[in-house]
Amino acid sequence: MKVAVIVFFLGAFLGGVCTYYYPEIDTNVTPFDRNGDGAADTQYIYRSDGSLKLLKMDRNYDGDIDDETEFDTSNLPVKEFSDDNFDGEFDTRTIYEFGIIKETLSDLDKDGEEDLRVFYNYGVMKKFEVLAEGEWKVVWIEK
Residues of this chain that interact with Ca ion (CB under 5 A) are 33, 35, 37, 39, 41, 58, 60, 62, 64, 66, 83, 85, 87, 89, 91
Nearer to Ca ion among residue 65 and residue 118 (C-beta) = 65
Q: How far is the CB of 38 from Ca ion (least distance, A)?
A: 7
Nearer to Ca ion, 91 or 129 (CB): 91
Is the Cα dihedral 134, 116, 71, 31 positive or negative? Answer: negative
Q: Residue 91, Cβ neighbours under 10 Å: how many?
A: 21
Task: State the minimum distance, in angstroms, from the CB of residue 40 to Ca ion.
Answer: 6
CB of 112 to Ca ion, least distance (A): 10
User: Taking the complex as a whole, how short is the minimal distance between the CB of residue 88 and Ca ion, in angstroms?
Assistant: 7
Q: For 19, which DSSP code?
A: H
| Distance (Å, whole) CA 34 – CA 19 | 34
Exposed/middle/buried for residue 53 (C-beta within 10 Å: 0-12, 13-18, 19+): buried
> Which lies closer to Ca ion via its Cβ, residue 89 or residue 109?
89
